[in-house]
Amino acid sequence: MQLTVTGKGVDVGGALRAHVEESLGAILEKYFGSAIEAHAVFTRERHLIHADLAIHIGRGIVVNSAAAANEFYAAFDAAAERLGKQLRRYKRRLRDHHAKASGAVGAGDAETARSYVLAPPPDEEEDEQDRIDGAAGTAPVVIAEMSTELPNLTVSEAVMRMDLANAPVLLFRNRSHGALNLVYRRGDGNIGWIDPALDTGRR
């Protein structure tokens, strides 16, 4: 496993780096076996240390975890504990996925889509010229543009990937009928699933 430990505005010493490597290795060995790469990023925000972990454990599967504490080791240990709980929840399915991926020939189960990062909308205050121009200049400003994988999944696989990545939403192509679907985290703690009601003719 390729491990990167970095600090943003803080120094990360060799002892902490060794602790991160040993702990992540033990967690992966217990719940999954191996990973492609892992990143641990430490940042300081006022009196707190934030530890952000990202582990790429298989094609299209990333596990994210984060925690904050008063010192480096406590922040990392809390984030690592959350990561372990996520892996334990999906232990069997991840191993099944890994076995299927190892035996598969070629990719063929995902397509690529364009992904954009948009600037936040400006304040509501506007000058007289903006009101005269009407709709001119109302298009959002694109900050970044990139390619992103649009996986071909079942709904349960999509929920698993979203949960492991600690993401708010996941767009995917539903393996059962080929249409685009969306799963997302609801405010009440449940998972929402959007499946466009396409009629038989359009399908």
Give 147's Cβ-side CA count (13 Å radius). Answer: 5
- For tokens 């190892």, the residue is 102
Which CATH number do you get for residue 148?
Answer: 3.30.505.50
In this prediction, residues 38-52 reach a mean pLDDT of 93
pLDDT the model gives residue 103: 47
pLDDT the model gives residue 145: 78
Give CA–CA dist 64/160, Å, rounded.
12
Within this chain, do residues 55 and 131 fall inside the same structural domain, yes or no? Answer: no
**Which of the pair, 132 or 177, is modelled with greater confidence?**
177
In this prediction, residues 162-172 reach a mean pLDDT of 90
Within this chain, do residues 33 and 66 fall inside the same structural domain, yes or no? Answer: yes
For 60-85, the pLDDT digits (tens) are 788 999 999 999 999 999 999 999 99
Within this chain, do residues 185 and 120 fall inside the same structural domain, yes or no? Answer: yes
Q: Is residue 142 part of a domain?
A: yes
Residue 66 pairs in a beta bridge with: 52
pLDDT the model gives residue 105: 41
Phi and psi (nearest 5°) for 187? -65, -25
Q: Is residue 43 part of a domain?
A: yes
Within this chain, do residues 97 and 6 fall inside the same structural domain, yes or no? Answer: yes
Residue 180, pLDDT > 80, answer yes
Smallest CA-to-CA distance from 182 within 159, 163, 199 is with 159
Burial of 172 (0-12, 13-18, 19+ CB in 10 A): buried
| Structural domains in the chain (count) | 2
Within this chain, do residues 88 and 178 fall inside the same structural domain, yes or no? Answer: no
Q: Is residue 190 part of a domain?
A: yes
Query: Angle formed by the axes of helices 91-103 and 72-89, to 10°?
Result: 70
Q: Is residue 200 part of a domain?
A: no
Which CATH number do you get for residue 51?
Answer: 3.30.160.100
Q: Is residue 203 part of a domain?
A: no
Within this chain, do residues 152 and 71 fall inside the same structural domain, yes or no? Answer: no
Residue 54 pairs in a beta bridge with: 39, 64
